[in-house]
Amino acid sequence: MVCSGDETKLSENRFELSGEQIEEQKEYTRLAAALVEGRFAAPPKAFVHTFGCQGNVADGERLKGMLGQIGYEFTDDVTEADLVLYNTCAVREHAQDRVFGNVGALKGLKTQNRDMKIFLCGCMMQQPHVAEKIKKSYPFVDVVFGTNVIYKLPEFVYRSLKGGKMIIEIPAGDGNISEDMPIKRDSNFKAWLPIMYGCNNFCTYCVVPYVRGRERSRDPEKIVEEAKQLVKEGYKEITLLGQNVNSYGKCPDYGCNFAELLRRINDIDGDFIIRFMTSHPKDCTDELLETMARCDKVAKHLHLPFQSGSDRVLKMMNRGYTSEQYLSLLDKAYSLMPELSVTADVIVGFPGETYEDFEMTKSLVEKAGFTSMFTFIYSPREGTKASTMPDPVSAEEKSRWFKELLEMQERIAAERTAACVGKTFRALCEGRAKSGAIEARTSGNFIIEIPADDSVIGTFRDVKVTAAKTWMLYGDIT
Ligand code: SAH
Ligand code: SF4
């Protein structure tokens, strides 16, 4: 089901689930709801925990939507849960280890409550070797399901309530698009809006294309409709999600690229801000940057992972651009939007990376002026090309490089935040920080702590910055 270049325009998205598939799950929802009602005196409780990226968080909101329709209520306390669902991430080993640790800890709970159901889903479960390990080492788990069958949760709940052995469903495939799923959103003023799924880029270190399937875009009309509905319901921030949003609209071809989609959403009446992630440098066009600059509702923030500053490493990573091309993209972006804030991801210790390569990464970071950066030590992922490449540098050496880069970015971030002092920003008040202050997010994705009461939460305020620390601004509502 890979889209080829010469395809004609499609009016229907052939990745979308069929009417029968949707109807079947509606029927399972009714059946599971009847079972739940008969079996529990009070509504049962579900503990749902999502690991990983915002795409997973958006899936988590749909999983909760389906459980809610069956009659589950939600709890943050795993010990009182009747159903535990871990929605997992596979991008780095550490994320997987945490899931195994958490699942292991459920064994004791399940001995106390034999009726407790344990469900595992998401990217980590889409890997057959992980499902095998769960089957062997964690036999008390009830259901394991992959990313291609998230929409079948009602069926899995019904079948597991009926009893029987562990259900494992991780069909291979290019992935699908499930429209019209019930959603229980975590916030009533910030919304995730997936615009596409999967990835075709096959960066050599990355497991995502293997666990999330091929790139597939949602119908722009459905996206715009959903955005309109969110604005109508009072949402103030809409974040468009995809592994590479810049290639939105290529497959299927609806005659609407990402820049056009941004323009259509920007045209919706209402007071709200549009964010998006993640962008890939190789597909970040002038048209997109110009659109960002022109659209008043689009946040002046670009998350643009560069991964490495060495052209040799970028080539080994299959990224499709050079460090010079990346920096000239930033030049163009800053010239169009002087107030733009750029954040990035970088990997330290890719197989075969030398200290000279790493110094080129430092040099890029010095020039780029990122407001913040997510730095990752390379983690080999089974099945990826990079995991077969010679990797002679020791873990200790990689940790030293990692620390060097963090210190460098800390200095740059402190310069960026210091430059905000005295300025006034329009910011969305998000909630209470641990310090007790209200946290407000600027268009450029800076967080400002302000003294204020709860009534400001979910509203835009003009905030004057009075002080700065490395990662945090402090200010007052003007
Ligand atoms: N689609 C996005 C994000 C992918 S995963 C993108 O292309 O930018 C988020 C980040 O995790 C990546 O940007 C990369 O920096 C990091 N990452 C992915 N695979 C990794 C691996 N095997 N080891 C370490 N970091 C990795
Ligand atoms: Fe992974 Fe690269 Fe796709 Fe991002 S663009 S999800 S890093 S393969």
pLDDT tens-digit series, residues 254-270: 999 999 999 999 999 99
Distance, in Å, from the CA atom of 157 to the CA atom of 85, rounded to the nearest integer, reads 11
Q: What pLDDT is stored for residue 13 in this prediction?
A: 78
- Segment 89-112 mean pLDDT: 94
Element housing 424 (H / E): strand 424-432
Q: Which ligand is the nearest neighbour of the Cα of 243?
A: 1
Residue nearest atom 8 of ligand 1, based on CA coordinates: 305
- CA of residue 379 to ligand 1 center, whole Å: 10
Pick the ligand that lies closest to the CA of residue 202.
Answer: 2
Residue closest via CA to ligand 1's atom 3 equals 243
- Could you tell me what percent of the chain has a pLDDT over 90? 96
pLDDT of residue 295: 98
Query: Among 30-34, 173-177, 295-299, 464-468, whose mean pLDDT is lowest?
Result: 173-177
**What atom in ligand 1 is closest to the CA of residue 307?**
15
- pLDDT at residue 243 in the model: 95
- Quote the mean pLDDT of the chain: 95
Kindly report the number of other CB atoms within 10 A of residue 381's CB atom.
22
Q: Which amino acid residue places its CA nearest to atom 5 of ligand 2? A: 201
Mean pLDDT on 453-469: 98
| Range list of β-strands (E), 198-278 | 216-217, 237-241, 273-277
Q: Residue 326: is it exposed, middle or buried by C-beta count within 10 angstroms (0-12/13-18/19+)?
A: buried
Q: Is the pLDDT of residue 9 over 70?
A: no
Please give the full DSSP string across 154-200, using - where no structure is assigned: HHHHHHHHH--S-EEE---SS--B--S-----S-SSEEEEE-EE---
* pLDDT higher than threshold 70 for residue 223: yes
For residue 318, what pLDDT is reported? 98
Q: What is the pLDDT of residue 184?
A: 97
> CA-CA distance, 82 to 113, in Å (whole number)?
8
Taking the centre of ligand 2 as the mean of its atom positions, its distance from the CA of residue 211, in whole angstroms, is 11
For residue 147, with 0-12 CB atoms within 10 Å meaning exposed, 13-18 middle and 19 or more buried, which class applies? buried
Residue 7 has pLDDT above 80, yes or no: no
Atom 12 of ligand 1: nearest residue by CA position = 345
How far from chain centre, in Å, is Cα 389? Answer: 28
pLDDT score at 14? 79
Cα separations in angstroms, 44 against 28, 68, 72, 81: 17, 10, 5, 8
- Confidence band, pLDDT 50/70/90 cuts, at residue 12: low
How far is 312 from 189, CA to CA, in rounded Å? 44
Measured between alpha carbons, how far is 328 from 260 in angstroms, rounded to an integer?
23
pLDDT over 80 (residue 3): no
pLDDT at 164: 86
For position 6, what pLDDT does the model report? 45
Residues near ligand 2 (Cβ within 6 A): 199, 201-203, 206, 208-209, 243-244, 280
430-457 b/e (C-beta count within 10 Å ≥ 16 → b): beeeeeebbbbbbbbbbbbbbebeeebb
Strand segments (E) across 37-109:
45-50, 73-74, 83-88
**Quick one: which of 64, 119, 58, 126 has its CA closest to 89?**
126
Query: Across residues 454-464, what is the average pLDDT?
Result: 98
Query: What tens digit of pLDDT does each residue of 186-211 get?
Result: 999 999 999 999 999 999 999 999 99
Q: What is the pLDDT of residue 149?
A: 96
Least confident range from 10-14, 186-190, 234-238, 337-341: namely: 10-14
Average pLDDT over residues 275-281: 97
**Confidence class for position 22, pLDDT limits 50, 70, 90:** very high
User: Taking 50 as the threshold, does the pLDDT of residue 1 lie above it?
Assistant: no
Q: What is the gyration radius of the CA atoms in the chain, in angstroms?
A: 23
* Mutation choice for ligand 1 from 123, 195, 200, 376, CB with most ligand atoms inside 8 A: 376
Closest atom of ligand 1 relative to the 201 alpha carbon? 7
Tell me the one-letter amino acid at 269.
D
pLDDT tens digits, residue range 107-152? Answer: 999 999 989 999 999 999 999 999 999 999 999 999 999 999 999 9
